[in-house]
A and B are shown apart, each in its own frame.
Chain A
Amino acid sequence: DTGVSQDPRHKITKRGQNVTFRCDPISEHNRLYWYRQTLGQGPEFLTYFQNEAQLEKSRLLSDRFSAERPKGSFSTLEIQRTEQGDSAMYLCASSFQGDTEAFFGQGTRLTVV
């Protein structure tokens, strides 16, 4: 297992289009997190899953955002009707319940033009 994997690494889309990102966590990890990082800022929490259950969602996660983890393994984050303000790095992380450390992927950089 090579760590948390995110796909795609980069995405350029036109305003108003829908985009979907995928995250494959470390295989034995039951917790998965999504964060968003804008330029010059630290990552901001969006949502997290324990197995397939979505346990918390940030107020940052507007109605245009939806995340799923259907089988408790990989997760997808979809943004509908993208806006220029959605341009950011989207980071995924995973951990095993009870462990201290969360491992991050390399992120998906979204640019909305």
Chain B
Amino acid sequence: AQKITQTQPGMFVQEKEAVTLDCTYDTSDQSYGLFWYKQPSSGEMIFLIYQGSYDEQNATEGRYSLNFQKARKSANLVISASQLGDSAMYFCAMRALGNTDKLIFGTGTRLQVFP
């Protein structure tokens, strides 16, 4: 069975600083995808970044980068130069590729950015 673990219920970071949100996963699949979503108070899940299990390079999207360590089964999200608008819930998720299309989510980390 697939499982996502996010051990940080909440994180604080000062504006313009970098922050790392932790995510570990468990799967027996050889092919899988890892995702990070942002959920502001409005409720919508906003896609941030994707990493495929066979991608050799860490994914980057603007201020977001994914620190993928396959042997450790970790997929941490790094947000550089935090902004006040980054305050939200952040969810790590995975999907088995070529099997089912569903996403398995972690319990999330609430990030608060202060001035």
Contacts and interface: CB of A to CB of B under 8 A. Distances in A.
A48 to B, nearest CB: 6
A104 interface: yes
B55 to A, nearest CB: 11
Interface in B64-91: 91
Interface of B: 4, 33, 35, 37, 42-47, 50, 52, 91, 93, 100-108
24 contacts: A33-B101, A33-B102, A33-B103, A41-B107, A42-B4, A42-B105, A42-B106, A42-B107, A43-B45, A43-B105, A44-B105, A45-B103, A56-B100, A56-B102, A58-B102, A91-B45, A93-B45, A101-B35, A102-B47, A104-B44, A104-B45, A105-B44, A107-B43, A109-B43
